[in-house]
Amino acid sequence: MKRLGFGLMRLPTTDPKDQKSIDMDQMCKMVDTFLERGFTYFDTAWMYHDHQSEIAIREALVKRHPRDSFTLTTKLPTMVLKEEGEQERIFEEQRKKCGVEFFDYYLLHNLNSRVLDTVERLDCFGFVRKLREEGKIRHIGFSFHDKADLLDRILTAHPEVEYVQLQLNYLDWESERVQSRLCYETVLKHGKKVIVMEPVKGGALAQLPAEGEKLLKAADPDTSLASWAVRFAASLPEVHVVLSGMSNIAQLEDNTGFMSDFKPLTEEERQMLFKCADIINNYTAVPCTACRYCTEGCPMGIDIPEIFALYNAHAKAKMLRSWSDKSKEQYQEFIKTHAKASDCVQCRQCEGACPQHLEIVKSLRDAAAAFEA
């Protein structure tokens, strides 16, 4: 299997503000091109695109292509589980939404210290083992957003796991908060395979500060910035597949182009990317990946990723002493139809949902101070 997977959490939409408005014509074209170029791995989840991603993949892929021409992964949403019987109901609904009799891979979604007690109480690992025994799933694993010591404990307690999905990119490689390298090394210590998510960090590694872009373009002027990030992840041993959340046909054609004839990075190129990471960190106020997990359940309906994008643009312009900073004007226009950063009631629901473990409440206060004073 080729090492590029199609992540279905940032699909093309007809309305950028409506996650449900998936552009099915473009998605079908993307799915067809992906398969035509020899790639087969598709990754979705219960909550992606406001619960529409699983339905979209049924219409674009499952109904239109033979079942043996692709592999399909979805995930049990551990963050919403509360009672016995919910996982059985959700799994059957997922099979119906996706239109399949079985899933090739089925993962426990977003394991971390906040959900682990629920996962153990409801015996979610036992649940997926049983599904594998019944032939309803072929491979089991979990996605993970926490520290390496917790990952080590989980893998020690559950050796039956085959795959771990990790946030892994050159920007987070030595991050104390994300611990990409430490988590990767922990998975390898337990002899498991790695599925990579967020290799481009929500698109952040496809749009670099000018200094970082100049560095990579000097190494290869014809290679896209995103390709460096995907190749960094795919070059690591024991990486089964690297997921890319492709949002349009141009991104898909680029990714499938350089991954069709994949060339691992040299050590010199790896060191160049780590230098680029240092440059990026100097410009980033809030390392948000715009996954939008934080927006579900926000009592004030705050579009947190959009506010953080504007705040990052403002912070970058301030650092560069740019006179062309339009972020304040854009923010004032934005809040004519959306909640303000200062509307936050500090319930911290968002922080509990954030895979990046960001101090969202504090950052919203900072954004309000920058834009609303």
Q: How many CB atoms lie within 10 A of CB 240?
A: 20
Average pLDDT over residues 9-26: 95
Query: What digits encode the pLDDT tens for the residues 302-319?
Result: 999 999 989 988 887 777
Contact 165, 131 (CB under 8 A): no
Among 111, 175, 186, smallest CA distance to 148 is for 186
Q: Are 278 and 248 in contact (CB under 8 A)?
A: no
CA distance 113 to 153: 11
pLDDT at 322 over 80: no
Residues 6+ apart with CB under 8 A from 210: none
pLDDT in tens, 149-206: 999 999 999 999 999 999 999 999 999 889 999 999 999 999 999 999 999 998 889 9
pLDDT of residue 320: 64
Q: What is the pLDDT of residue 203?
A: 87
At residue 326, the pLDDT reads: 85
Q: Give the pLDDT band of residue 321 (cuts 50, 70, 90).
A: low
| pLDDT value of residue 312 | 86
CATH architecture of the domain with range 4-281: Alpha-Beta Barrel (3.20)
Secondary structure of 43-92 in HEC code, one letter for each residue: ECCCCHHHHCHHHHHHHHHHCCCCHHHCEEEEEECHHHCCCCCHHHHHHH
Please state the pTM of the whole predicted model. Answer: 0.86
Exposure string for 19-57, b = 16+ CB within 10 A, e = fewer: bebbbeebbebbbeebbebebbbbbbbbbbbeebbbbbb
Looking at every residue in the chain, the average pLDDT score rounds to 94
Q: Could you give phi then psi for residue 29, rounded to 5 degrees?
A: -65, -40
Q: Which of 304, 297, 281 is nearest to 359 (CA)?
A: 304
Task: Give the Å distances, CA to CA, from 145 to 25, 98, 115, 149, 196.
Answer: 33, 25, 11, 12, 12
Whether residue 193 contacts residue 163, with contact meaning beta carbons closer than 8 Å, is answered with yes
Q: What are the boundaries of each domain within the chain?
A: 4-281, 293-372
Query: In the chain, pLDDT over 70 holds for what percent of residues?
Result: 98
- β-pairing, 41-43 vs 4-7, is parallel
Q: What is the mean predicted confidence (pLDDT) over 333-340?
A: 92
Give tens-digit pLDDT for 77-123: 999 999 999 999 999 999 999 999 999 999 999 999 999 999 999 99
For residue 135, which of 89, 96, 100, 94 has the smallest C-alpha distance? 100
- Two tokens, residue 3: 């090492």
- Cβ–Cβ under 8 Å, residues 146 and 111: yes
Q: How confident is the model at residue 296 (pLDDT cuts 50, 70, 90)?
A: confident
**Does position 323 have pLDDT exceeding 60, yes or no?**
no
Query: Band of the pLDDT at 16, cuts 50, 70, 90?
Result: confident
Q: Is the pLDDT of residue 361 over 90?
A: yes
> Residue 1: what pLDDT?
80
